[in-house]
Amino acid sequence: EQIQVRTRGEFGGIGLEMTMEHGLLKCITSIEDTPAHRAGIRPGDLISHINGEPVLGMTLIQAVKKMRGSAGSAIVVTVRRGMSSEAFDVRLVREIIRIKPVSARAEGDIGYIRIVTFNERTYRSMNRAIAGLSRELGGRMNGLVIDLRDNPGGLLDQALKVSDAFLVEGEIVSTVGRHRDRVRRFRADPEDLASGIPIAVLINGGSASASEIVSGALKDHGRVVVFGQRSFGKGSVQTVIPLGQGQGALRLTTARYYTPSGQSIQVHGIEPDIISVEADPAQREKNLRNPLSAEGQVRKGNGALMEEVCPDVSGGEDPILLCALHMLRSGLLSVEIQTLN
């Protein structure tokens, strides 16, 4: 059920992205224009009870299942804003939540595209977003930022299409199974949706799986400069086998992903070319319980520190984005791409 929701990109709920912390639900973000967002639930808020039932002792999947339900049904969550604050109840009415995979805006003459997940609509939405930006800027878009931060991944075919949109040739990603001679390679078609303009890709420790396929492919081909923090390191291929008659599904790890240069994504992740100080290095695959081991070539990092490359943006609201925009506008990003190649 969770996999189907992720693929379709819609569900009945209140619009919260959550994780577990100290046995409570922690809000990562509330999706814009959803019941949770309109009620003022903020990132960092903790939920201790769902309809009066304690969250403590539930798994994340169990808690999420209780949060979801049919549109129009009511739910009461008990919220604590900071561990020392007094808890309060919030009554919400569930709605159909549609996960918008892509958002876009113009930053002067630079296009900015945020991809939050790779579901069935991601490539089509991105294609429309780029066309819309091009019209808005009168065909004079001089650079593009693709923001993959905190994108947990999704469908492989969408990651392939997004990568292919900016490459004119070569391998996008390969998979290697238990038997090393069983290699499957995915290659690009000769068309660049961005017409060769310079591109910055933003990643962090929350960028995983499909996000790492995209950033790794574009980085290895020298098509982009990658900014931010080392990605999560989820480079395992998982095959889902439905059990039938509503009995759930079996998810098996069957192979590993490798970037075009032969770098293993598993555990090691993708290292940026321009590195920001990592905010929370614990939130990565290698620090999970019993992570799948890495195999194959691992490229040693030689990225530049963002604080040295863009010393004037450190006090800004989003220094990584500001640095990318600065390098695009100044032409330094094009020079960096030539240096990397």
Domain boundary among 79, 98, 117: 98
Distances (CA, A) of 324 to 65, 160, 164, 259: 39, 24, 22, 23
Cα gap 194→240, rounded to integer Å? 34
3-state helix, strand, coil in the chain (%, to 5): 25, 30, 45
Q: Are residues 223 and 294 in the same domain?
A: yes
Written as six digits, the tokens of 264 are 């293993």
Q: Are residues 93 and 106 in the same domain?
A: no
Mean pLDDT lowest among 28-42, 207-221, 246-260: 246-260
Q: Is the separation of the CB atoms in 116 and 100 below 8 Å?
A: yes
Residues 244-270 have a mean pLDDT of 83
Q: Quick one: what percent of the chain has pLDDT higher than 90?
A: 57
Cα gap 245→139, rounded to integer Å? 52
pLDDT digits (tens, 9 = 90+) for 222-232: 999 999 999 99
Task: Tell me phi and psi for residue 45, to 5 degrees.
Answer: -65, 145
Judge whether residue 316 has pLDDT over 80. no
Q: Are residues 149 and 242 in the same domain?
A: yes
- The catalytically annotated residue of 174, 209, 236, 276 is 209
User: Catalytic: 65?
Assistant: no
pLDDT value at position 25?
Answer: 93
Q: Are residues 115 and 94 in the same domain?
A: no
| CATH number assigned to the domain comprising residue 129 | 3.90.226.10
pLDDT range class, residue 305, cuts 50, 70, 90: confident
Of residues 164 and 305, the one with the higher pLDDT is 164
Q: Are residues 266 and 321 in the same domain?
A: yes
Residue 319 per-residue DSSP state: H
pLDDT value at position 329?
Answer: 95
pLDDT range class, residue 294, cuts 50, 70, 90: very low
User: Catalytic: 181?
Assistant: no
Distances (CA, A) of 327 to 111, 141, 142, 274: 14, 15, 12, 11
pLDDT digits (tens, 9 = 90+) for 113-171: 999 989 889 999 999 999 999 999 998 999 999 999 988 888 899 999 999 999 999 99
Residues 188-217 have a mean pLDDT of 94
Domain boundary among 50, 72, 98: 98
Count of domains observed in the chain: 2
pLDDT range class, residue 20, cuts 50, 70, 90: confident
- The catalytically annotated residue of 174, 234, 273, 276 is 234
Q: Are residues 71 and 108 in the same domain?
A: no
Q: Which residue range forms the structural domain that includes residue 70?
A: 2-98
Residue 29: Cβ within 10 Å count: 17
Q: Are residues 49 and 123 in the same domain?
A: no
Q: Are residues 14 and 66 in the same domain?
A: yes
Structure-derived torsion over alpha carbons of residues 286, 287, 290, 295, reported in degrees to the nearest 10:
10
Judge whether residue 204 has pLDDT over 90. yes
Residue 7 per-residue DSSP state: H
Judge whether residue 283 has pLDDT over 60. no
Judge whether residue 285 has pLDDT over 80. no
Q: How far is CA 210 from the centre of its chain?
A: 8
pLDDT digits (tens, 9 = 90+) for 208-219: 999 999 999 999
Cα gap 91→99, rounded to integer Å? 22
Q: Is the separation of the CB atoms in 46 and 63 below 8 Å?
A: no
| CATH number assigned to the domain comprising residue 55 | 2.30.42.10
Q: Are residues 172 and 52 in the same domain?
A: no
Judge whether residue 93 has pLDDT over 90. yes
Mean pLDDT lowest among 56-60, 265-269, 285-289: 285-289
Domain boundary among 44, 79, 98: 98
Distances (CA, A) of 297 to 123, 263, 303, 304: 30, 5, 18, 22
Residue 248: Cβ within 10 Å count: 11
Alpha-helix runs per DSSP H in the chain = 2-8, 35-38, 60-67, 122-136, 156-164, 210-220, 306-309, 319-330, 332-340
Q: Are residues 70 and 217 in the same domain?
A: no
pLDDT value at position 306?
Answer: 86
pLDDT digits (tens, 9 = 90+) for 53-87: 999 999 988 999 999 999 999 999 999 987 667 89
pLDDT value at position 198?
Answer: 97
Judge whether residue 282 has pLDDT over 90. no
pLDDT range class, residue 290, cuts 50, 70, 90: very low
Q: Are residues 80 and 213 in the same domain?
A: no
- The catalytically annotated residue of 45, 147, 220, 273 is 220
Region of residue 228 (phi > 0: left; psi between -120 and 50: alpha; otherwise: beta): left
Q: Are residues 53 and 188 in the same domain?
A: no
Judge whether residue 334 has pLDDT over 80. yes
User: Catalytic: 234?
Assistant: yes
Cα gap 278→307, rounded to integer Å? 12
Q: Mean pLDDT, the chain, as a whole number?
A: 86
